[in-house]
Amino acid sequence: MAMQISGVTIQGGMNILPAGGSPSPGGGYSFQGSSFGFYAGGTNTSGTVGYDTIQKNSFTSDGNATDVSDLTQVTAQGAGQTSSTHGYTSGGYVLGPNTKTSVISKFQFSSTSNATSVGNLSSARNRSAGQSSSENGYASGGAATTIDKFPFSTDSSASNIGNLTLSNQNQAGHSSSSHGYNSGGDSPSAPNNDRIDKFAFASDGDATDVGNITTQTQQLGGTSSTTDGYASGGTPIFGSGTLNVINKFPFSSDTDASDVGDLSVSRRNLVGSSSTSSGYNAGGDPSATIDKFPFASDGNATDVGDLISSVIQGVASSQN
């Protein structure tokens, strides 16, 4: 039965829904966080002591990180992913048995509960890069061309859905709203390469080579704004020297990166988390420093705090 209303003024707009309809929920997924960056696992700078620690730092105020919970095992050299409610670690190297792992673990952003094991990658490997869409986590490379994908909606193992353009490890990972990216890395066919690979989230398939970072570099830290990918620090030759360069490349076009600033400390094996306004690079060899640089304007990073100890080869995620 229709209802007629007359003589009424409505201000501020209105939504007309079909019978039985309800408004869509607000908000939505964003790879960039608004509250905290999380950093999980890793080793000391000599690689002799491993950690299962999950620590976090605030995106709303500068300061040191705090210890909030633990991983399922002492793991370094894994890949990190971000859903709207959880942080993930996938693969890596387990100290103690000193073996590569395929385990996918997740921890809840809103609690201090320890991580739980929820699945496995398609193969055990370390030194891969992590990417995240609104629905899935990705782990790419790791002395391999493999691109693995696993769902956030269910606790499930990953499937191999494509390949990078070369077997790669120690590269930085980046995420736009539609694609995953890898930059730099170390490959048997191209040691210390400068390649930027890109693969689509909407359909499973192989990556394509879409550009280059400014220097052939591995062991970088990767961060992402909504419009650009950033690759920071690293080493130009394995085991020799460190860099402080912040590379930036656009998501909107397949273009080479440019040098847009410097870290406060040159280092390698650092990790990156992303807020809505800034990129954060934490730890690395040899530093516990948490650096922050703005996305809105190109410029140098500033030291805004420290991890609880000097950590290398951990993974990062960002709380929405």
Q: Tell me the one-letter amino acid at 255.
A: T
Decide if 18 is inside a domain: no
Which H or E run contains 75? strand 75-76
Decide if 125 is inside a domain: yes
Which H or E run contains 219? none
Decide if 129 is inside a domain: yes
Per-residue pLDDT at 133 exceeds 50? yes
Decide if 220 is inside a domain: yes
At 311, give phi and psi (nearest 5°). -125, 135
What per-residue confidence (pLDDT) applies to 239? 59
Render pLDDT for 281-303 as a digit per residue (tens, 0 to 9): 999 998 999 999 999 999 999 99
What per-residue confidence (pLDDT) applies to 205? 98
CATH value at residue 209: 2.120.10.80
Per-residue pLDDT at 27 exceeds 70? no
Distance CA 190, CA 227 (A): 28
Per-residue pLDDT at 21 exceeds 80? no
What per-residue confidence (pLDDT) applies to 201? 98
Q: What is the pTM of this model?
A: 0.90
Per-residue pLDDT at 26 exceeds 90? no
Decide if 144 is inside a domain: yes
What per-residue confidence (pLDDT) applies to 15? 36
What per-residue confidence (pLDDT) applies to 237? 72
The answer to whether 169 touches 120, Cβ cutoff 8 Å, is: no
At 121, give phi and psi (nearest 5°). -70, 170
Mean pLDDT of 151-156: 98
Total domains, the chain: 1
At 57, give phi and psi (nearest 5°). -130, 155
Render pLDDT for 253-270 as a digit per residue (tens, 0 to 9): 999 999 999 999 999 999
Mean pLDDT of 120-148: 98
Decide if 87 is inside a domain: yes
Residue 189 structure tokens:
């066919």
What number of other Cβ atoms are within 10 A of residue 76's Cβ?
A: 24
Determine the structural domain holding residue 242 and report its residue range. 36-319
Phi/psi region, residue 305 (left: phi>0; alpha: psi -120 to 50; beta: rest), is left
Q: Using pLDDT thresholds of 50, 70 and 90, give the confidence band for residue 63.
A: very high
Distance CA 152, CA 162 (A): 19
Render pLDDT for 101-116 as a digit per residue (tens, 0 to 9): 999 999 999 999 999 9
Residue 225 structure tokens:
């704004």
What per-residue confidence (pLDDT) applies to 320? 84
Tell me how far CA of residue 294 lies from CA of 230, 246, 268, 290, in angstroms: 11, 11, 20, 14
| Helix and strand element counts for the chain (H, E) | 0, 25
Decide if 12 is inside a domain: no
Taken as a whole, the chain contains a residue count of: 320
Decide if 205 is inside a domain: yes
What per-residue confidence (pLDDT) applies to 189? 78
Nearest to 131 by CA among 47, 205, 200: 200
b/e 168-186 (16+ beta carbons within 10 angstroms → b)? bbbbbbbbbeebbbbbbbb
Render pLDDT for 235-257 as a digit per residue (tens, 0 to 9): 987 657 999 999 999 999 999 99
Using a pLDDT cut of 70, give the percent of the chain over it.
91
Q: Tell me the one-letter amino acid at 281.
A: N
Q: What is the mean pLDDT of the chain?
A: 91
Distance CA 259, CA 236 (A): 15
Beta sheet of 144-151, edge-to-edge order: 129-132, 136-140, 144-151, 159-168
Render pLDDT for 158-211 as a digit per residue (tens, 0 to 9): 999 999 999 999 999 999 999 999 999 998 877 789 999 999 999 999 999 999
Let me know if 57 is exposed, middle or buried by CB neighbors in 10 A (0-12, 13-18, 19+).
buried
Using a pLDDT cut of 90, give the percent of the chain over it.
84
What per-residue confidence (pLDDT) applies to 1? 39
